[in-house]
């Protein structure tokens, strides 16, 4: 296992093998809710890995049908993700199970590639065969996980959830090929969020199966839901930002794709802004949206300057991002009542900027391997940001996350959450995060008016 894979798998392995930490207490009996313990960290690791799979699979399928130069690099990064997932499974169930997972998981990726090849050749029979192979995979993989989890994940329910996954990826690809880019990127967002629900169900099954390894902690609690909701949004931000920057440098030939990608990136911003507005009104939502969207605009400025070979404009964009980093760090320290420090936020934001810029610079230079290495680093970093931010919010408003029981679980977690479950998650997340944002917005406005 190389160092990159180790960084991703280590949180899960540590959660399983080294959870006997005196500082960790049961989620059911803790005096204060927490966003980090062995069980929640397991869920976050699986959520990051599985959702990265969804994003990379869709990107690779697009690159394949285009015959793009970066297809091999995207596919290689998808392969590394598969290995990381397999290592994670092996850390729970042993090397034999890890290898069995790897073989089946790799095979289902291959069937998606077959579907792409069938589409390129306009061979309907080949496309249908690929879908049939995916149908058989659903049955085999569902039986595998039902056995591994000793029935805690039910094969029939899992097969239904896997069909949703297949449908989302195929629909995202078909829409892209048809030129319906808005649907293509919308389906990509759906696929990502669905896989976070997959992680919810699988982590719940594993922690129930091995309670002693997790000191009877729960992976599914209101505080954990907030962390994973933020992780979902932030990882989506990274994926759409990087691919939008790629589209942007490609010029007119990708203009329509860029517009749809950028629109989905904006929708990602709207999701958080709407949550704030639902509690504190349009003014607070608009101010928050202005700040959040601002830093996205600076990345776009960097892309435009790169295309124009304007080094001065590139530096100006980086300077704007530096100023944003300072302003937003102070903003969050004030918002969270000091539960997260400005210096810590600033350091994390600088890493985020470095990763996105490095991925784009490598892509523009034709170093596609490095471009997708940095995609992975940026995507994984969103897990850490979500952990820190949700931890600060929960520490600031512990009563809002003090429920003794976990949020409602679907049968296996592999189907989308029902409306009540998602509504509860967003109410919890929005009420705490919006309050922090609202306080900071008021103080920020007051300081600017001085």
> Residues 49-65: pLDDT tens digits?
999 999 999 999 999 99
- Cβ contacts of 420-425, under 8 Å, gap ≥ 24: 424/222, 424/225, 425/225, 425/226, 425/229
What is the reported pTM? 0.86
pLDDT tens string 303-312: 999 999 999 9
Contact of 383 with 48, CB cutoff 8 Å: yes
Provide, rounded to the nearest whole percent, the portion of the chain with pLDDT above 70. Answer: 80
Higher pLDDT, 143 or 275: 143
Residue 169 has pLDDT above 80, yes or no: yes
| 310 CB-near residues (< 8 Å, 6+ apart) | none
Section 110-114 average pLDDT: 98
pLDDT band at 298 (very low <50, low <70, confident <90, very high): very high
Q: Rounded to 10 degrees, what is the CA torsion of 157, 143, 167, 233?
A: 70
Residue 209 has pLDDT above 50, yes or no: yes
Say what the pLDDT of residue 374 is. Answer: 99
3-state secondary structure the chain: CCHHHHHHHHHHHHHHHCCCCCCCCCCCCCCCCCCCCHHHHHHHHHHHHHHHHHHHHHHHHHHHHHCCCCHHHHHHHHHHHHHHHHHHHHHHHCHHHHHHHHHHHHHHHHHHHHHHHHHHCCCHHHHHHHHHHHHHHHHHHHHHHHHHCCCCCCHHHHHHHHHHHHHHHHHHHHHHHCCCHHHHHHHHHHHHHHHHHHHHHHHHHHHHHCHHHHCCCCCCCHHHHHHHHHHHHHHHHHHHHHHHHHHHHCHHHHHHHHHHHHHHHHHHHHHHHHHHHHHHCHHHHHHHHHHHHHHHHHHHHHHHHHHCCCHHHHHHHHHHHHHHHHHHHHHHHHHCCCCCCHHHHHHHHHHHHHHHHHHHHHHHCCCHHHHHHHHHHHHHHHHHHHHHHHHHHHHHCHHHHCCCCCCCCCCCCCCCCCHHHHHHHHHHHHHHHHHHHHHHHHHHHHHHCC
Q: Burial level of 183, CB count in 10 A (0-12/13-18/19+)?
A: middle
Provide, rounded to the nearest whole percent, the portion of the chain with pLDDT above 90. Answer: 68
Section 391-409 average pLDDT: 73
Q: How far is CA 314 from CA 135, 266, 318, 321, 373, in A?
A: 48, 22, 6, 11, 22
pLDDT band at 291 (very low <50, low <70, confident <90, very high): confident
Pick the closest to residue 101 from 131, 413, 109 (CA basis).
Answer: 109
pLDDT band at 403 (very low <50, low <70, confident <90, very high): low
Residue 22 has pLDDT above 70, yes or no: no
Say what the pLDDT of residue 117 is. Answer: 98
Angle value at C-alpha 373, between 368 and 379, nearest 5 degrees: 125
């Amino acid at each position: 296992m190389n160092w990159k894979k180790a960084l991703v798998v280590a949180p899960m392995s540590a959660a399983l093998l080294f959870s006997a930490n005196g500082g960790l207490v049961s989620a059911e009996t803790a005096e204060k809710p927490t966003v980090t313990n062995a069980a929640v960290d397991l869920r976050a690791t699986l959520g990051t890995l599985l959702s990265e799979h969804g994003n990379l699979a869709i990107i690779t399928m697009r690159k394949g049908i285009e015959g793009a130069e970066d297809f091999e690099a995207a596919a290689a990064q998808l392969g590394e993700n598969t290995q990381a997932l397999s290592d994670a499974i092996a850390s729970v169930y042993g090397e034999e199970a890890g290898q069995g997972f790897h073989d089946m998981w790799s095979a289902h990726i291959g069937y998606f590639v077959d579907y792409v090849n069938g589409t390129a050749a306009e061979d309907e029979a080949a496309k249908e065969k690929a879908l049939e192979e995916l149908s058989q995979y659903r049955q085999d993989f569902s039986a595998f996980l039902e056995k591994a989890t000793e029935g805690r994940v039910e094969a029939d329910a899992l097969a239904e959830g896997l069909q949703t996954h297949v449908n989302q990826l195929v629909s995202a690809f078909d829409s892209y090929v048809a030129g319906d880019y808005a649907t293509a990127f919308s389906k990509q967002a759906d696929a990502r969020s669905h896989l976070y629900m997959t992680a919810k169900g699988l982590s719940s099954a594993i922690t129930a199966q091995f309670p002693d390894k997790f000191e009877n902690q729960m992976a599914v609690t209101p505080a954990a839901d907030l962390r994973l909701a933020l992780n979902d949004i932030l990882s989506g931000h990274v994926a759409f930002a990087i691919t939008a920057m790629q589209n942007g440098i490609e010029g007119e030939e990708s203009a329509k794709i860029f517009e749809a990608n950028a629109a989905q990136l904006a929708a990602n911003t709207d999701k958080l802004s709407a949550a704030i507005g639902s509690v504190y009104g349009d003014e607070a939502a608009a101010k928050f949206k202005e700040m959040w969207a601002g830093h996205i605009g600076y990345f776009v400025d960097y892309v435009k300057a790169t295309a124009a070979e304007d080094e001065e404009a590139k530096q100006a964009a980086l300077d704007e991002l530096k100023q944003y980093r300072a302003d937003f760090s102070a903003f969050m320290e004030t918002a969270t009542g000091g539960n997260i420090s400005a210096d810590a936020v600033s350091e994390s934001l600088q890493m985020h900027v470095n990763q996105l810029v490095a991925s784009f610079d490598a892509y523009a230079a034709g170093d596609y391997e490095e471009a997708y290495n940095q995609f992975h680093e940026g995507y994984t970093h969103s897990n850490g940001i979500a952990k820190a931010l949700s931890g600060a919010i929960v520490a600031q408003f512990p009563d809002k996350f003090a429920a003794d029981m976990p949020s409602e679980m679907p049968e296996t977690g592999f189907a989308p959450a029902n409306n009540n479950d998602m509504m509860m998650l967003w109410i919890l997340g929005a009420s705490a995060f919006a309050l922090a944002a609202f306080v900071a917005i008021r103080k920020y406005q007051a300081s600017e008016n001085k």
